[in-house]
Structure 1
Amino acid sequence: MRFKDVFSIIGPAMVGPSSSHTAGAVRIGKAARQLFGSQPELAHVLFYGSFAATYKGHGTDLAIVGGLLDWPTDDPRITRAIDIANESGMQVSFEQGKGLFSHPNTAKIVLSSSALSKQLSIVGTSIGGGNIEIIEINGFSVKLSGLYPSIVIKHHDWPGVVADVTQLLKQRQTNIGHMSVDRKSRSGDALTVMELDVPVTSELILELEQFPAIQSVDVIDLSRNSSLEEETE
């Protein structure tokens, strides 16, 4: 990834000590929280590579949990994130993962809620300067930067589904900055991720959910809260 300016290297406003190990980790956790849609009951975090070796010293564990609590990178409560999570009813555990990933700063987050009968698995990497890439969602390979508002669409692998979605976005004059598609098997389940140039509206989500092939539509927008903010005229 090319950095556009010095601030892309230094990172965003944050609780230190490291843009890669703290700010980036917050953003990975926040992306997982937004995809899950609410605070989970259980959160299990596996660290790989450099994350696994230094997560306690660099506060990466605290940063991930701060993101799961939907906090910004500079929230002063991050230093107490695990205690606050426990107090709020979210149980968090950590583990050093086994095996290799393409980037040394990698975390896998598994979230679950028995009350909602819901589970999510997400893998993200912190690539420097507080920037991240989400590379896997529930076993689907994706590429998502978190820099732009994004829609995550789970759907049947039927002909024309992606065309229907892009046509709808064209009608709404919404430009696609990047798109990735993966599927479990031919004619099985598929996942399409689109990074957009404008915020995702609740109206767009409702329109997408009307397509017969689409099973779910979720949003990642790290500049906003987990739930879509109320739109104003």
Structure 2
Amino acid sequence: MLPYLQSVDIILYNSFARTHLGHGTVRALIAGLLGLAPDDTRVKDSLDLAIRAGLTFKIHEGRDGAKPHPNTVSLAMHTTTGRNLEVCGESLGGGRISISEINGVVVKITGDYPTLFVAHTDTPGVLSALTAILAKEHLNIATMRTFRKQPGGEAYTIFETDEPASQEVVAACEEVLHVQFASLVNIPGAMPLKLRVNLKYDFASADRLMELCRNKQMSIAGMMRLREQKLRSSKKIPDQLMKNIIDTMRAETHEALEQPEHSLGGFLYGEAKRVAETPTPFISATQRRSMAYAWQRLNALPRWA
């Protein structure tokens, strides 16, 4: 869980406000606050885990149209240190999000580049001190944007760099006069722009994929493995990562039929298994099995967010 986090008010807007009960949106948000990964099977139990961790939360449904994006959520976080933070984010689809507001100040953080976030007072000398720290560490700045409500007030500067900053850089930034805090920002689902631009084995069509296969004399599977290897910044072997994916997909296909669990929204429980096991003269066994697999997708454990 985030350090010193004591309570959070969650406000859901637009379509989020209308669909969160059935989609398990709040469970996913609380899981994120607890530090759970999207593929952690404990996501479905996040509300209970939060209570055990001493994190209190309240859910509110915001007024339609109050935020421009259809899938918007605001998190008002309260800490034991008295420092409060309000963050507004948008779900862009495909597992990607964008941070659009911090403490009422309009910002834009997407994670396209490694990102350093600095909260400070809007006063002369702060930006020059911060850029000097990055220059000393040989970090090239791709973009730098400062957001504020008024001159001399609260301000946030977002640095996007070609390479990730270290924790030592973060600590040095926090030592600068008039800086309240600094943090590295990791947006789940974001792929660094540098990778997208320079990815040698990327493709946007079947023709391009086949061309890559011919040039490298590889099968489609071999090319996909090579692409995954180039994409991954971790040292994990692509085969291990892909095995985890296929094991999860297989489990998703069968677990809800063999061992039913309540769905995220709590409305479904065992329907897929009953469809699979109940003969009917109106449909064939193959059709019944197909229907059961369709139902089980709604009744499956939320392994992937």
Common topology (TM > 0.5): yes
Aligned to 1:23: none
Alpha carbons of 1:191 and 1:72: their partners in 2 closer, same or farther (altered >3 Å)?
same
Q: Is residue 105 from structure 1 mapped to residue 74 from structure 2 by the alignment?
A: no
Stretch deviating more after TM superposition (47-56 or 152-161)? 152-161
Aligned to 2:121: 156
Equivalent position amino acid for 1:91 in 2: T
Alpha carbons of 1:145 and 1:214: their partners in 2 closer, same or farther (altered >3 Å)?
same
Q: Give identity over the alignment, percent.
A: 34
Instruction: Give me the whole-angstrom Cα distance separating, in 1, the residues matched to 2:46 and 2:4.
Output: 13
Q: Is residue 182 from structure 1 mapped to residue 136 from structure 2 by the alignment?
A: no
Aligned to 2:180: 215
Stretch deviating more after TM superposition (183-192 or 172-181)? 172-181
1:222 Cα offset (Å)? 4.6
Q: Is residue 89 from structure 1 mapped to residue 54 from structure 2 by the alignment?
A: yes
Alpha carbons of 1:81 and 1:146: their partners in 2 closer, same or farther (altered >3 Å)?
farther
Q: 1:149, 1:222 within 8 Å by CA — same for their partners in 2?
A: no
Alpha carbons of 1:118 and 1:159: their partners in 2 closer, same or farther (altered >3 Å)?
closer
Q: 1:124, 1:132 within 8 Å by CA — same for their partners in 2?
A: yes
Name stretches of at least 5 consecutive residues in structure 1 with no aligned partner.
1-32, 224-233
Residue pairs, 1:115-126, within 5 angstroms: 115-126=80-91
Name stretches of at least 5 consecutive residues in structure 2 with no aligned partner.
189-305
Instruction: Give me the whole-angstrom Cα distance separating, in 1, the residues matched to 2:4 and 2:28.
Output: 16
Alignment coverage as a number of residue pairs: 187
Aligned to 1:200: 165
Aligned to 1:146: 111
Higher RCO (CA < 8 A, seq sep 6+):
1
Aligned to 1:18: none
Instruction: Give me the whole-angstrom Cα distance separating, in 2, the residues matched to 1:76 and 1:169.
Output: 39
Stretch deviating more after TM superposition (62-71 or 159-168)? 159-168
Alpha carbons of 1:81 and 1:192: their partners in 2 closer, same or farther (altered >3 Å)?
same
What are the Cα deviations for residues 173-194 of structure 1, in whole angstroms up to 9, with x where unaligned? 2133443311132122211122
1:74 Cα offset (Å)? 1.0
Higher share of residues assigned strand: 1
Q: Is residue 75 from structure 1 mapped to residue 7 from structure 2 by the alignment?
A: no
Alpha carbons of 1:39 and 1:68: their partners in 2 closer, same or farther (altered >3 Å)?
farther
Equivalent position amino acid for 1:212 in 2: L
1:110 Cα offset (Å)? 0.8
Instruction: Give me the whole-angstrom Cα distance separating, in 1, the residues matched to 2:82 and 2:52.
Output: 22
1:151 Cα offset (Å)? 2.0
Cα RMSD (Å):
1.9
Equivalent position amino acid for 1:173 in 2: H
Alpha carbons of 1:207 and 1:132: their partners in 2 closer, same or farther (altered >3 Å)?
same
TM-score (norm 1): 0.73
What are the Cα deviations for residues 139-163 of structure 1, in whole angstroms up to 9, with x where unaligned? 2211101354422211121224223
What are the Cα deviations for residues 18-76 of structure 1, in whole angstroms up to 9, with x where unaligned? xxxxxxxxxxxxxxx7xxx5152211100001111101111111110110011111111
Higher share of residues assigned helix: 2
2:85 aligns to what SS in structure 1?
strand
Alpha carbons of 1:69 and 1:39: their partners in 2 closer, same or farther (altered >3 Å)?
farther
Moved over 3 A (4+): 146-149
Alpha carbons of 1:176 and 1:102: their partners in 2 closer, same or farther (altered >3 Å)?
farther
Alpha carbons of 1:217 and 1:194: their partners in 2 closer, same or farther (altered >3 Å)?
same
2:5 aligns to what SS in structure 1?
coil
